[in-house]
Amino acid sequence: MKSEPMLGPVDIYKLESQVDWVICGGESGPGARPMNPDWARDLSISCGLLNIPFFFKQWGGVRKKEAGRLLDGLEYNEYPEAR
């Protein structure tokens, strides 16, 4: 599942049987809409509870490199296991 750009909260529990991996990130570029940190945080916590790998790509914004990709001080780089 790709939640990028994340423009609102996502209830992964409705989709859990269909999801192998979550990539989350904010919108970037001119006119980028902000992402609420709680949306990404809640999605990360839900993925942890459901044992779904979580990758946090970026906060986004006009200067996405300055915003970085740390969520609550941590870098999330989880990938699904190869089959």
d(Cα 70, Cα 38) in Å, to the nearest integer?
13
Q: What is the pTM of this model?
A: 0.88
* Residue ranges in the chain assigned as alpha helix (H): 37-50, 64-67
The pLDDT of residue 45: 97
Residues of the chain by 3-state class (helix, strand, coil), percent to 5? 30, 20, 50
Domain ranges of the chain: 2-75
Does 43 score more than 90 pLDDT? yes
pLDDT tens across 4-19, in order? 789 999 999 988 789 9
